[in-house]
Amino acid sequence: QKEVEQNSGPLSVPEGAIASLNCTYSDRGSQSFFWYRQYSGKSPELIMFIYSNGDKEDGRFTAQLNKASQYVSLLIRDSQPSDSATYLCAVNKNTGRRALTFGSGTRLQVQP
Amino acid sequence: GAGVSQSPRYKVTKRGQDVALRCDPISGHVSLYWYRQALGQGPEFLTYFNYEAQQDKSGLPNDRFSAERPEGSISTLTIQRTEQRDSAMYRCASSPTGGGNTGELFFGEGSRLTVL
């Protein structure tokens, strides 16, 4: 079982719709959760992080965390073609390995 | 510099040769990470440093891979006796805080290694 699992996609949504990206993780010791965006041919960039159960909103982005279900998601409201990218979920355990473990990413396509 | 700088951006080498990949982190950043990313995959952790100390090298695939950061700034990832399976994008990232648990990693543009 991979430590961080994501559906590879592509996830295709029309412009203006809500895109929902999901991620599960295997280690219950995971403490911090991150979403990175990676445009084709570019390096990953952090867009959101969440530490506590519940929702965290930042502009058009909402991260949701459910530690009991070992599940984290990212919602993108009013999706734009410029949101088309690969979204990487990453987790950190805060103990032991103090470096992020990334999922393989979900490719999002926003259709104009 | 303004961002994380990696060199060379592209490296083509023959199997069996040694390669050295360089990373110059954002000035003042405490932590430095090396990741490897295959096409269509997420970054895979290799090793990380706090200042000059290598805190975790558990992701290095085998003893042909090594890394150093002797003065707590620039880091070099060295791959000895390269093999075709080493072909990948090697990404360096830095973070302003130690411990590696903030998650805000600033990635460089990567060094694409091709082993023929």
For the stretch B2-53, pLDDT in tens is 899 999 999 999 999 999 999 999 999 999 999 999 999 999 999 999 999 9
How crowded is residue B25: how many other Cβ atoms within 10 Å of its Cβ?
28
- Strand B111-115 vs strand B10-13: parallel, antiparallel, or unpaired? parallel
Residue B2 in contact with partner chain A when CB distance is under 8 A: no
Secondary structure of B49-70 as H, E, C letters: EECCEEEECCCCCCCCEEEECC
Average pLDDT score, chain A:
93
The rounded distance, in Å, linking the Cα atoms of A65 and B95 is 24
Comparing CB atoms, the residue among A4, A99, A103 nearest residue B100 is A99
Q: What percent of chain A has pLDDT over 90?
A: 81
Residue B76 · residue B7 · CB < 8 Å: no
Residue A18 in contact with partner chain B when CB distance is under 8 A: no
Comparing CB atoms, the residue among A90, A99, A102 nearest residue B56 is A99
Terminus-to-terminus CA distance in chain B, angstroms? 33
For the stretch A48-84, pLDDT in tens is 999 999 999 999 999 999 999 999 999 999 999 999 9
Contacts of A59 (CB under 8 A, 6+ apart): none
Residues from chain A contacting residue B56 (CB–CB below 8 Å): 97-99
Report the b/e string of B66-81 with b at 16+ CB within 10 A: ebebeeebebebebee
Residues from chain A contacting residue B55 (CB–CB below 8 Å): 98
Secondary structure of A31-100 as H, E, C letters: CEEEEEEECCCCCCEEEEEECCCEEEEECCEEEEEECCCCEEEEEECCCCHHHCEEEEEEEECCCCCCCC
Confidence of residue B99 (pLDDT cuts 50, 70, 90): very low
